[in-house]
Structure 1
Amino acid sequence: MCRECSDDIELIKQLNSNYHDKTLKRGKVRKNTFQILNTNIKIDSWKFNEWDYGKSETLVSQARGLFTLNDEKIIIRGYDKFFNVDELPITRWQNLVESTRGPYYLTLKENGCIIFISGLEDGTIVVCSKHSTGERDDVNRNHALYGQKMLENQLNSKNIDIKNFAKYLYENNLTAVAELCDDEFEEHVLEYSKKRSGLYLHGLNMNQVNFMTLSMEKVHEFSKMFGFKEIEFTVIDDINHLQQILTDCSKTGTYDGREAEGFVIRCKNLQDEDFFFKYKFEEPYLMYRSWREVTKEIISGKPIEELKISKHKYQTLKYIAFIMPILSSNPDLKEKYLNNHGIIDLRNQFLNHYGKKGFEVANYEDKDFDMELALSSLNLTSVSQNTITKYIIVPVATIGCGKTTIAISLTKLFPHWSHIQNDNIPNPVKDKFIRGALELLENSDCCIMDRNNHQFRERKQIFEDFNKLNKGKYNLKFICLNFFPEDKDKIKSKLWEITYKRVSARGNNHQSIKAGEKGMNDVANIMKGFIGRFQNVDPTRQPDSLFNLIIDMEWDETENTNLKNLYKIITQIKQSFPEIIPEIPSDEAIHNSFQDALSYEPNFSKIVKSSSSKSNRNKKQQPIYFSIGIKNPDLIISKIENLLSHNTSNEDIVNLYQLLKETDRIQKEFHVTLTHRNDKNVNIFNDYVENYFLKDINEILKANEGGNLRGRTFKLTKPLTPFTLILKKLCGDGKLLCIECDINQLKLGDDENKKLWMNKYNHITVGTLNNGVAPFLSNRVLRNLNDFHDKSCFSIDWNELDSERIINFEDLELLVNF
Structure 2
Amino acid sequence: IETHEIDNPVYRASEKKTSAAIQPDISLDDFLAHLDQHEYVQELKLPHHISSFNFTKKAFSERKWDDVNVKARGLFVNMVSKQIVSRSYNKFFNIDERPETKMHHLVNHLQFPVTVYDKANGYLGTVGYNEMEDELVFTSKSYTSHVKQNQHASWVEELFYQTFGDVQVDYIKSYVSDHNVSLVFEVILPEKDPHVITYDHDQLILLDIVKRQLSYEKAPFTEVQRVSEQLGISSKQEVAVFQDWTSFYKWYQAVSHDDSIKEEGYVIEDHRGFMTKLKLPYYQFWKQMRAIKQRVAEKRSTQKYIQALQTAEQARFYTWLLEQDAHAVRNSSIIELRSQFEQSDAAQLNKDGINA
Task: Give the alignment of 1:205-216 within 5 angstroms.
Answer: 205-216=210-221
Match of 2:254 among 242, 245, 248: 248
Give the CA deviation at 1:54: 4.1
Distance 1:187 1:69, change over 3 A: same
1:139-190 CA-partner distances (Å, limit 9, x unpaired): 5xx111111111111112xx53424422211110111111111211111111
TM, length-normalised to structure 2: 0.79
Output the amino acid matched with 1:286: Q
Aligned to 2:9: none
1:474-524 CA-partner distances (Å, limit 9, x unpaired): xxxxxxxxxxxxxxxxxxxxxxxxxxxxxxxxxxxxxxxxxxxxxxxxxxx
Q: Are 1:265 and 2:268 counterparts?
A: yes
Aligned to 2:71: 62
CA contact (8 A) 1:34 1:134 kept: no
Cα separation, 2, equivalents of 1:252 and 1:100? 23
Distance 1:116 1:12, change over 3 A: farther
Determine helix, strand or coil for the equivalent of 1:117: strand
Output the amino acid matched with 1:310: A
Give the CA deviation at 1:16: 3.8
Give the CA deviation at 1:93: 2.9
Task: Give the alignment of 1:105-116 within 5 angstroms.
Answer: 105-116=115-126
Determine helix, strand or coil for the equivalent of 2:114: strand
Q: Are 1:182 and 2:189 counterparts?
A: yes
Task: Give the alignment of 1:286-435 within 5 angstroms.
Answer: 286-302=284-300, 308-312=306-310, 314-327=312-325, 331=327, 333-337=328-332, 342-355=333-346
Give the CA deviation at 1:42: 2.8
Match of 1:14 among 28, 31, 39: 31
Aligned to 2:44: 32
Distance 1:267 1:316, change over 3 A: closer
1:192-237 CA-partner distances (Å, limit 9, x unpaired): 112xx31111111111111111222211111111233221113332
Cα separation, 2, equivalents of 1:145 and 1:326? 34
CA contact (8 A) 2:42 2:53 kept: yes
CA contact (8 A) 1:120 1:167 kept: no
Give the CA deviation at 1:67: 0.6
Q: Are 1:167 and 2:174 counterparts?
A: yes
Distance 1:12 1:161, change over 3 A: same
TM, length-normalised to structure 1: 0.36
1:446-481 CA-partner distances (Å, limit 9, x unpaired): xxxxxxxxxxxxxxxxxxxxxxxxxxxxxxxxxxxx
Larger radius of gyration: 1
Distance 1:108 1:253, change over 3 A: farther
Determine helix, strand or coil for the equivalent of 2:46: strand
Aligned to 1:238: 244
Output the amino acid matched with 1:302: R
Give the CA deviation at 1:108: 0.6
1:93-141 CA-partner distances (Å, limit 9, x unpaired): 34333333232221011111111111234641111003111244655xx
Cα separation, 2, equivalents of 1:248 and 1:306? 29
Cα separation, 1, equivalents of 2:283 and 2:189? 18
Give the CA deviation at 1:318: 2.0
Cα separation, 1, equivalents of 2:344 and 2:109? 48
Output the amino acid matched with 1:311: L
Cα separation, 1, equivalents of 2:111 and 2:304? 49
Q: Higher relative contact order at CA 8 Å, sep ≥6: structure 1 or structure 2?
A: 2
CA contact (8 A) 1:34 1:43 kept: yes
Cα separation, 2, equivalents of 1:97 and 1:324? 44
Cα separation, 1, equivalents of 2:64 and 2:203? 30
Cα separation, 1, equivalents of 2:241 and 2:282? 25
Aligned to 2:17: none
Aligned to 2:52: 45
CA contact (8 A) 2:148 2:154 kept: no
Cα separation, 1, equivalents of 2:305 and 2:69? 42
Cα separation, 1, equivalents of 2:316 and 2:259? 21
Give the CA deviation at 1:312: 2.9
Cα separation, 2, equivalents of 1:204 and 1:236? 23
Cα separation, 1, equivalents of 2:257 and 2:100? 24
Cα separation, 1, equivalents of 2:25 and 2:123? 27
Give the CA deviation at 1:92: 2.7
Task: Give the alignment of 1:637-716 within 5 angstroms.
Answer: none
Q: Are 1:221 and 2:231 counterparts?
A: no
Aligned to 2:140: 129
CA contact (8 A) 2:73 2:89 kept: yes
Give the CA deviation at 1:61: 5.6
How many residue pairs get aligned? The number is 318
Output the amino acid matched with 2:96: D
Distance 1:213 1:305, change over 3 A: closer
Cα separation, 1, equivalents of 2:192 and 2:29? 34
Distance 1:221 1:325, change over 3 A: same
Determine helix, strand or coil for the equivalent of 1:81: coil
Cα separation, 2, equivalents of 1:307 and 1:238? 39
1:621-641 CA-partner distances (Å, limit 9, x unpaired): xxxxxxxxxxxxxxxxxxxxx
Task: Give the alignment of 1:400-549 within 5 angstroms.
Answer: none
CA contact (8 A) 1:124 1:163 kept: no
Which structure 2 residue ranges, 5 or more long, are not aligned?
A: 1-23
Determine helix, strand or coil for the equivalent of 1:302: coil
CA contact (8 A) 2:118 2:236 kept: yes
Give the CA deviation at 1:325: 4.2
Output the amino acid matched with 1:276: M
CA contact (8 A) 1:85 1:91 kept: yes
CA contact (8 A) 1:76 1:175 kept: yes
Which structure 1 residue ranges, 5 or more long, are not aligned?
A: 1-6, 36-40, 357-384, 386-818
1:709-751 CA-partner distances (Å, limit 9, x unpaired): xxxxxxxxxxxxxxxxxxxxxxxxxxxxxxxxxxxxxxxxxxx
Cα separation, 1, equivalents of 2:337 and 2:90? 36
Distance 1:18 1:165, change over 3 A: closer
Q: Percent identity?
A: 22
Q: Are 1:198 and 2:203 counterparts?
A: yes
1:15-68 CA-partner distances (Å, limit 9, x unpaired): 24542x4xx6x4x32111222xxxxx2311011233466433xx2663421011
Cα separation, 2, equivalents of 1:251 and 1:311? 17
Match of 2:157 among 141, 144, 148: 148
Distance 1:241 1:63, change over 3 A: farther
Output the amino acid matched with 1:32: L
Cα separation, 2, equivalents of 1:190 and 1:132? 25
Determine helix, strand or coil for the equivalent of 2:27: helix
Output the amino acid matched with 1:355: A
Cα separation, 2, equivalents of 1:103 and 1:353? 46
CA contact (8 A) 1:65 1:76 kept: yes
Distance 1:200 1:120, change over 3 A: same
Cα separation, 1, equivalents of 2:302 and 2:35? 46
Cα separation, 1, equivalents of 2:52 and 2:344? 47
Distance 1:309 1:209, change over 3 A: same
Cα separation, 2, equivalents of 1:295 and 1:135? 34
Give the CA deviation at 1:323: 3.4
Distance 1:346 1:43, change over 3 A: same
Distance 1:61 1:250, change over 3 A: closer
CA contact (8 A) 2:128 2:138 kept: yes
Output the amino acid matched with 2:89: Y
RMSD over aligned Cα atoms: 2.8
Task: Give the alignment of 1:274-285 within 5 angstroms.
Answer: 274-281=273-280, 283-285=281-283
CA contact (8 A) 2:94 2:276 kept: yes
Give the CA deviation at 1:303: 6.4
Match of 2:113 among 96, 103, 107: 103
Output the amino acid matched with 1:320: Y
Cα separation, 2, equivalents of 1:147 and 1:47? 19
CA contact (8 A) 1:15 1:60 kept: no
